[in-house]
Structure 1
Amino acid sequence: MIYKHRTKPRLLSGLLALEKRLSPTHEKYDYIKSELYKIRAGYGGEQEYDRYMKEVRTDYPHAILHDLSLQHEGVHFQIDSLFITPDTIIISEVKNIADKIFIKANPTQFMKQLPDGSRLLFRSPIAEVERKIQFLEQWLASRNIVVTVKGLIVFAYNNEMFIEEKPSMKVITAYEAPTYFRSLTPQNESLESRDIAEIAKTLARGHTEYNPFPITARYKIGERDIRGGVFCSECEIPTIMRWSELRWYCSVCGVREIGSHQSAVIDWFMLMSSPLTNRKFCEFTGITSRHTAKRMLARSDIQKQGKGRGSRYTSLT
């Protein structure tokens, strides 16, 4: 049973907004594009894994949780996927790498083969999982939950893998996941079905959504470099709309909409560290009437603080 599903990463949403509002000539534009590609690819790989995990059927009770973000003694750690059996908790680290993979041990090395035939070493996912195992064991122990925690490395797609030396942790592809979990035979069934369910619920309650906002502060980009405007939802190339006759109007595709500014408000809270005010909303969206801006903000899913010119707006999420 799946106790927690995966959701779109906030960082991905923030980077999409940043790419749209950052000039292609900005010194960090190419870096932001590469970050966006990496996060989007990682999320795509995790979704591929989740698709196969829906096929898991076992003779023993189990629980599945995707995308857990936990905290222990001030340390945040993120788990791609977690599988609970009657005797073990298995952390899955999902990797989205399309190249040929070469794996060696002593010392552990993971390499991918580039188009020119050369090999590039990348950070060992085993080391990443071992760190997460340590923190999860401590997190569980602090709640009087004692259970063995193991790791699993999963490549999202059917990579051509060459295991030159057997690593210390199991390595599979997402396609193999249903068969792998079905083949497990719990030896010491210390956890009954209700215990597994309770641990899964405890983990789900402990999840704290990672908040990467404001994105400009994260990537050290000046707020003055962020392009304002309300963008058309229909045009593939970002096109700025204008407010006319009680509607947002796109001069390119001709669409007329009422609530297009809502996405601009969302972008503001993802990108900016400064508080949103009526004046800044006007500057950001191109609205010329502060009374119109006030009505728009009042209908938005945000919270107002203060009165008059001292009013500030904060996000509810």
Structure 2
Amino acid sequence: MKYKQLEVIIRRVDPYHPDYNYFVEQYALATAGIAGENEVFYFLQELAIPHRILRNFCTVDAASHKHEIDFVIILSSLIICLEVKNMTGQLDFDVEASQLLRTRSDSIIERFPNPIEQLTRHTRFLSSLFPHVPIIGAVVIANRRAIIGSRSPHTPIFHSDYIYSFIEKSLKQHAEPTLDIDVFYEQLIALQSLPIKPFSFTLAHLKSGVFCSKCTSKMHFIQGKFVCLNCHHQDKFAYFQALHDFRLLVDSKITNKEFCTLCGISSRYATIRLLKFLPIIKQGRHTYYEIPEQISTMVQEESPDSPMN
């Protein structure tokens, strides 16, 4: 959710917004995080033994504290939680001070929150729910150029290419099958909660217009279709992306007037035709159109029910 929102923020929020530079930094960090998770997932695909994997598992404990675990690996004899970090430089894990120190190539030292503490919180929580299940954790460094310096003697910390060996070693220590993998997977899925939107905006915060998927220029609505005057790309359904952006940052429902402002269309009658395929919600004197979650991936086919016909 956070990454998807940040992606839209970079596209839609005005660069003069007071927090825009912060959003750019967060987007860069989130992009690096996903790249690191992809690196880890690449090595997890080597697992030939029965297993299930939950990626970006999000849940809430009894005290309403949120737990976001990068990977939960369910095996027949144990559960493994992985906390992934995609960082360069020399990484020193200071357990007593609860910090991660990174020494960059220019010798500048930076402090980060200790991922070991994050991991401990997650494994402790899962152990409280499933006290008879062996649950272990590890911190995985996804960047191959990083150097792992001082570390905790109690928490495994290693590069992503060691994952398979780590799992093999863990299975030797926990060899007795105690889990029905599919049943436990369903139990965890039942605990999963949808992440709350980290950021919220109003329509006034967003840049108006429908943007070209080819060159990102603002498109013009001409004779029932969106036309890019820069690269000449034409797309009847380019406004789907605008609805997707609005849903992620503002609300899951939109009025005719809001849609006109969002897409830069002056005719409310044209918007009625564009939005006629969306479910209508009546709230008092107001009429809203419900934006489906899958709006950006909906099949764009011309049919008798298409918004342009």
TM-score normalized by structure 1? 0.83
Partner of residue 191 from structure 1, selected from 154, 178, 191? 178
Partner of 2:269: 291
Cα-to-partner distance string for 1:239-268 (whole Å, 9 max, x where unaligned)? 111110121011100111100011111111
Partner of residue 134 from structure 1, selected from 112, 117, 124? 124
Partner of residue 24 from structure 1, selected from 15, 20, 35? 15
Tell me how far 1:75 sits from its aligned partner. Answer: 2.9
Query: One-letter code of the match for 2:184?
Result: I
Instruction: Determine if contact 1:216/1:223 at 8 Å carries over to the other structure.
Output: no
Alignment partner of 1:164 is 2:150? yes
Query: One-letter code of the match for 1:247?
Result: K
**In 2 relative to 1, CA 292–53 (structure 1 residues): closer, same or farther, beyond 3 Å?**
same
Cα-to-partner distance string for 1:132-157 (whole Å, 9 max, x where unaligned)? 1122223336xxxx312221100112
Percent of pairs with identical residues: 23
Partner of 2:291: 315
Cα-to-partner distance string for 1:157-183 (whole Å, 9 max, x where unaligned)? 224434335432001111111222123
Partner of 1:119: 109
Partner of residue 90 from structure 2, selected from 94, 100, 114? 100
Instruction: Determine if contact 1:92/1:152 at 8 Å carries over to the other structure.
Output: yes
Partner of 2:167: 181
**In 2 relative to 1, CA 168–246 (structure 1 residues): closer, same or farther, beyond 3 Å?**
same
Instruction: Determine if contact 1:112/1:119 at 8 Å carries over to the other structure.
Output: yes
CA distance in 2, matches of 1:109, 1:250: 50
Determine helix, strand or coil for the equivalent of 1:110. Answer: strand
Partner of 1:304: 280
Determine helix, strand or coil for the equivalent of 2:93. Answer: strand
Query: One-letter code of the match for 2:242?
Result: A
CA distance in 2, matches of 1:291, 1:308: 22
Partner of 1:216: 200
Partner of 2:73: 83
Tell me how far 1:80 sits from its aligned partner. Answer: 0.5
CA distance in 1, matches of 2:252, 2:76: 49
Instruction: Determine if contact 1:104/1:167 at 8 Å carries over to the other structure.
Output: no
Larger mean CA deviation between 78-87 and 36-45 belongs to 78-87
CA distance in 2, matches of 1:115, 1:267: 38
Query: One-letter code of the match for 2:289?
Result: Y
Partner of 1:234: 214
Determine helix, strand or coil for the equivalent of 2:128. Answer: helix
Query: One-letter code of the match for 2:126?
Result: L
What are structure 2's unaligned runs of at least 5 residues? Answer: 294-309
Tell me how far 1:118 sits from its aligned partner. Answer: 3.1
Larger mean CA deviation between 252-261 and 178-187 belongs to 178-187
Aligned ranges for residues 242-261 of structure 1 at < 5 Å? Answer: 242-261=220-239
The CA RMSD over aligned residues, in Å, is: 2.3
Determine helix, strand or coil for the equivalent of 1:311. Answer: strand
Instruction: Determine if contact 1:80/1:93 at 8 Å carries over to the other structure.
Output: yes
Q: Where in structure 1 do 4 or more consecutive aligned residues deviate above 4 Å?
A: 104-109
Larger mean CA deviation between 47-56 and 302-311 belongs to 302-311
Alignment partner of 1:54 is 2:76? no
Instruction: Determine if contact 2:81/2:123 at 8 Å carries over to the other structure.
Output: yes
CA distance in 1, matches of 2:37, 2:279: 34
Determine helix, strand or coil for the equivalent of 1:44. Answer: helix
Query: One-letter code of the match for 1:255?
Result: H
TM-score normalized by structure 2? 0.85
Query: One-letter code of the match for 1:232?
Result: C
Query: One-letter code of the match for 1:284?
Result: L
**In 2 relative to 1, CA 162–308 (structure 1 residues): closer, same or farther, beyond 3 Å?**
closer
CA distance in 1, matches of 2:242, 2:92: 45
Query: One-letter code of the match for 1:296?
Result: L
Query: One-letter code of the match for 1:227?
Result: K
Larger mean CA deviation between 86-95 and 202-211 belongs to 202-211
CA distance in 2, matches of 1:69, 1:243: 41
CA distance in 1, matches of 2:141, 2:205: 38
